Structure 1
């Protein structure tokens, strides 16, 4: 059985002007504490409501910022999930997340499938791949973005595809703390996987972000939970606990899809 995957969650206020420098420092600190994975917030590189608009800031999946993230991941020897505004080959914009391996290799790329509110619908085209995965240190990692995790179908699709740790860059605003406090732990239990939920904090435009980032475990516990301030959170995703919890609560095995599709 693989060893535990120490996971870091970067809960930060919007600061796109020095986002890469702040990410580099967070990666250094996380790696020094034994982390092998660092998860940032939704649209971490650009901010959620940039004054210049996403047209001016969006980059292709292999653009300069992606190369900078690749370099810092390799420099510190840990995988990084970062949120950013992607410009696709057809010119359309996507609210995307990328997983870069600890050697700097791109491992997975995901476009948010469930857009939230007028702001996101104005700028972005939703993705159409519900499950994107990659392997890291013996575990299967999956990607969703913020609002996606609020739909039980998306998390269950990952569970059925074998995801062990679901990484969710997030920009959840007040007053919706029920999502990190109640819904995210419930998702982890009902689909028997870990959920790494990395939210923003602080204020940007009309939004005051809720913080409350967490790593939720499949047994109903929350090994780490953030508050309202900027912080770097660390906790372990334990394959032994995952296996034991799946044996004790075999929801996936006991499903009866013939009754509900």
Structure 2
């Protein structure tokens, strides 16, 4: 296992409701990332369908795990030779939709899944049902990784839980809006530093019919250092070598006997 993973965060404009177009855009982005040696590419939140699309559209476009969209992304991953973390609506047993992210390895096989735990605002709560399961870590080429979605990463408990589960990197598809720059400027860096892990935060730029997004996609190292950051506007592919070796002493020195976790 290398002590670095080269990861790309793809900042792009949303193209709501056009799954075919978005799969084509994903293929192009993966080609560009692979040409620069990236081992993983992370898309924004709900990239496949668009984020603010209404409950009816989220449920219409939602698929069960193993559906046709997953198969299409798996084919891109195999052909381009890199792992992909992509945001998409996933069908729940109730017929509702989860706000989900899936990682598919370069071999086309699913490495892990996450359904958004913390729903933000009226749009999230109207469109999606919240996941009731604790975020889990999984293996990627000999290193443990985890996924969160947007608002999830703003809760210290979410990232700490993954770090305690062995995650060396947390990958975060997001749709953060203008006026919320403190997330990229403070919180993402703090989550990385306080857990001694890398955090990759892939955001939209531009706008859809509901929101204007603030870009600033960010890749942080395990001391909270900025390894790469996109601008506030415009599509951009940022790539950085993220250390997977532990950093800092917070996890080792924390008083779990006092905090109960």
What's the CA shift string for 1:57-113, capped at 9, x where partnerless?
111121111110000000111000000011123312100000001010011111100
Deviation readout 1:179-200 (Å, 9 max, x if unpaired): 0111100110001110010011
**What is the match of residue 225 of structure 1?**
229
- Whether the aligned pair in 1 keeps the contact of 2:222 and 2:243 (CA below 8 Å) is no
Q: 2:12 maps to what in 1?
A: 12
1:90 counterpart = 2:94: yes
Q: Does 1:73 align with 2:57?
A: no
The question of whether the paired residues in 2 share the 8 Å contact of 1:8 and 1:39 is answered with yes
Alignment partner, residue 49 of structure 1: 52
Q: CA deviation at 1:129?
A: 2.1
Deviation at 1:201, TM superposition (A): 0.7
Pick one of 116, 121, 127 that aligns with 2:131. 127
Matched, 1:215 2:219: yes
User: Equivalent residue for 1:23?
Assistant: 26
Deviation, 1:238, is 2.1
Provide Cα deviations, 1:3-55, integer angstroms capped at 9, x if missing partner.
Answer: 42110111000124211000000011111110110000000011112266212
Aligned to 2:144: 140
Helix, strand or coil at the partner of 2:63: coil
- Where does structure 1 lack aligned partners over 5 or more consecutive residues? none
C-alpha separation in 2, matches of 1:6 and 1:210: 24
Query: TM-score normalized by structure 1?
Result: 0.94
Shift of residue 130, structure 1, vs aligned partner: 2.0
Distance in 2, Cα, partners of 1:147 & 1:231:
22
- Is contact 1:42-1:171 (8 Å) kept? yes
Distance 1:53 1:92 in 2: 11
SS for the counterpart of 1:81 is strand
Q: Could you tell me which residue of structure 2 aligns to residue 62 of structure 1?
A: 66
In structure 1, what is the Cα distance between the partners aligned to 2:175 and 2:167? 22
Q: Which runs of 4+ in 1 moved over 6 A?
A: none
* 2:187 corresponds to 1:188: no
Please state whether the residue corresponding to 1:220 is helix, strand or coil.
Answer: coil
Secondary structure of the equivalent of 2:103? strand
Residues 110, 129 of structure 1: 8 Å contact kept: no
**Maintained 8 Å contact 2:201/2:219:** yes
Aligned to 1:65, the other structure's residue is in SS state helix
- For the 8 Å contact 2:38–2:82, the answer to whether it is kept is yes
Q: Secondary structure in 2 aligned to 1:41? A: coil
* Number of residue equivalences: 255
Q: TM-score, normalised by structure 2?
A: 0.94
What is the rounded CA distance, in whole Å, between the counterparts of 2:218 and 2:100 in structure 1?
Answer: 20
Contact 1:216 1:223 in 2 (8 A): yes
- Structure 2 counterpart of 1:178, from 175, 179, 182: 182
Structure 2 residue ranges without an equivalent (≥5): none
- Structure-1 residue corresponding to 2:240: 235
Secondary structure of 1:22's counterpart equals helix
CA RMSD of aligned residues (A): 1.3
